[in-house]
């Protein structure tokens, strides 16, 4: 590398509009959700401030040499929101719009999610402010390895266990695992989950989040007396979560009638051919070009359905589109897709919302199985994994449903009541150190 290489910096810190939905921003939305639950926490409310402050937030500089010899700096984050119930756990996101505030909110939602499904973890999340599509494979590997080295001081199989999120995959996890292991001097498979099967990954992990969305959707439908067979499903986002959920609903006899991704939206009242659409996306990277009628974003949100599954990004259901949504229930595959204002509108309109912290918890549940399998070096069959996943998701959903009925609150508030109670009970029992 020549000493006169120009310095490239990551793009300026602007908060994208979808993160600022209804002007709260993701951390603001989370704080409002905690405020809503506080009156239900009884004497534990004394500890609620714990939930409003991340335990630890690390901001790191990630400098790498680009293929053309220039030097680029990217900003990276790892936030451990709460570790009262166990080590931090949560994904790593590579996106040009990632901010510290977003990672803080995502880490807090992981604390809530892990407690809601009762896996023995706290909550954490990480990210790098980078557009990975603009990097070569070698540059992506260098970014991943340098970021892992920078956060090495706070991660570990008993401290904080990263996993994939938006734009990160099992290859990225393999590089993270290798970098951590090289720094530690011994192979440590349990430091990340979502790894390739050949490196201690778990069967069923890739499909787990979508499968959990389906299990929660089926439970919610049963409680509303709705048949899955013949039900009309609308899905936003056709990536890992959306496509698997769509496939499972399709296999159960439901009709997936509308799908939207970052390029376009498709509609077929007779039901889209989901396996063919998945095949199309695997070749083209988008649903665009598939044989079906295209509709506008406005038409997409107004499509009449029994089940609507947002499985793309935060802040998609807002005060602007919530009054026009025509569905019986929203099953949140994405993290934070509904703003608090939209939540209120949907409640008033008697539309059931199964919140992200339970609906998309299938991924972290199978991550937990992966971590347990890595520790014991004994691996389960896919059938065992799926059975255990279904049991945990059904039990979690049924307790949340019961608390919602008892307190006459939404499922989101009920999930927060259960999760915050578990976290703050652990906090109280442990006491403050020193």
- Given the rule CB under 6 A, which residues bind ligand NAD? 165-166, 209, 236-242, 260-262, 311-313, 333-335, 360, 363
CB closer to ligand NAD, 54 vs 210: 210
CB of 333 to ligand NAD, least distance (A): 5
Catalytic site residue 52? Answer: no
CB of 313 to ligand NAD, least distance (A): 5
The CB-based long-range contact list for 248-257 (8 Å cut-off, 24+ gap) reads 248/210, 248/211, 248/213, 248/214, 249/214, 249/217, 249/307, 250/274, 250/275, 252/214, 252/218, 252/228, 253/228, 253/229, 254/228, 254/229, 254/230, 254/307, 255/230, 255/231, 257/232, 257/233, 257/303, 257/305
- Contact 259/333 with Cβ under 8 angstroms? no
> Which of 167, 147, 130 shows the shortest CA–CA distance to 10?
130
Q: Which of 125, 195, 247, 255 is catalytic?
A: 125
SS3 state of residue 238: coil
Question: Would you say 179 or 260 has its CB closer to ligand NAD?
Answer: 260
How far is residue 94's CA from residue 97's CA, in Å, rounded to a whole number?
9
Supply the minimum distance, in Å, between the C-beta of residue 280 and ligand NAD: 12
Nearer of residues 335 and 338 to ligand NAD, judged by Cβ: 335
Nearest residue to ligand NAD, scored by beta-carbon proximity: 239
C-alpha angle with apex 34: 126 to 330, nearest 5 degrees?
A: 80
Question: Which residue, 80 or 360, has its beta carbon nearer to ligand NAD?
Answer: 360
* Interatomic CA distance for residues 416 and 318, integer angstroms: 21
In whole angstroms, how close is the CB of 267 to ligand NAD at the nearest point?
A: 14
Half-sphere exposure of 153 (CA within 13 A, CB side): 7
Q: How far is the CB of 263 from ligand NAD (least distance, A)?
A: 7
CB-CB contact of 214 with 256 (8 Å): no
CA 81 to each of CA 253, 307, 338, 339, 429: distance values in angstroms, whole numbers, following the listed order: 40, 32, 21, 21, 18
Phi (first) and psi of residue 49, to 5 degrees: -60, -30
Choose between 174 and 311: whose C-beta lies nearer to ligand NAD: 311
State the minimum distance, in angstroms, from the CB of residue 241 to ligand NAD.
4
Between residues 87 and 362, which has the closer beta carbon with respect to ligand NAD? 362
Catalytically annotated residues: 125
């Amino acid at each position: 590398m020549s000493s006169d290489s120009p310095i490239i910096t990551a793009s300026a810190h602007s908060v994208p509009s979808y993160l600022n939905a209804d002007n709260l921003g993701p951390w603001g939305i989370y704080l409002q959700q905690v405020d809503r639950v506080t009156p239900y926490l009884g004497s534990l409310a004394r500890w609620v401030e714990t939930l409003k402050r991340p335990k630890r937030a690390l901001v790191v500089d990630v400098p790498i040499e680009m293929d053309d010899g220039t030097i680029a700096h990217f900003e990276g984050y790892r936030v451990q929101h709460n570790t009262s119930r166990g080590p931090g756990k949560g994904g790593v996101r590579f996106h040009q719009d990632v901010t510290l505030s977003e990672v803080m909110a995502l880490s807090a939602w992981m604390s809530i999610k892990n407690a809601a499904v009762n896996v023995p973890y706290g909550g954490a999340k990480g990210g790098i402010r980078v557009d990975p599509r603009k990097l070569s494979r070698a540059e992506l590997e260098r970014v991943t390895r340098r970021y892992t080295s920078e956060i090495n001081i706070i991660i570990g199989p008993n401290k904080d266990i990263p996993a994939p999120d938006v734009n990160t995959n099992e290859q990225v996890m393999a590089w993270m695992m290798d970098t951590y292991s090289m720094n530690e001097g011994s192979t440590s498979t349990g430091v990340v989950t979502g790894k390739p099967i050949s490196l201690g990954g778990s069967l069923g992990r890739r499909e787990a989040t979508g499968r959990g969305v389906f299990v929660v959707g089926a439970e919610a439908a049963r409680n509303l007396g709705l048949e899955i067979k013949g039900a009309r499903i609308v899905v936003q986002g056709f990536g890992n979560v959306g496509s698997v959920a769509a496939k499972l609903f399709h296999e159960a006899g439901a009709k997936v009638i509308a799908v939207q991704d970052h390029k376009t939206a498709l509609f077929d009242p007779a039901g889209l051919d989901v396996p063919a659409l998945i095949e199309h996306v695997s070749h083209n990277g988008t649903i665009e070009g598939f044989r079906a009628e295209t509709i506008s974003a406005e038409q997409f949100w107004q499509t009449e359905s029994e089940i609507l599954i947002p499985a793309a990004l935060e802040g998609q259901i807002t005060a602007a589109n919530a009054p026009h949504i025509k569905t019986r229930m929203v099953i949140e595959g994405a993290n934070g897709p509904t703003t608090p204002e939209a939540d209120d509108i949907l409640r008033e309109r008697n539309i059931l919302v199964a919140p992200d912290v339970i609906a998309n918890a299938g991924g972290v549940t199978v991550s937990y199985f992966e971590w347990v399998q890595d520790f014991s070096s004994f691996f389960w069959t896919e059938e065992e994994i799926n059975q255990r996943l279904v049991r945990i998701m059904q039990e979690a959903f049924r307790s949340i449903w019961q608390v919602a009925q008892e307190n006459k609150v939404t499922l989101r508030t009920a999930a927060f009541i259960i999760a915050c109670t578990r976290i703050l009970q652990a906090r109280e029992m442990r006491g403050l150190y020193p």
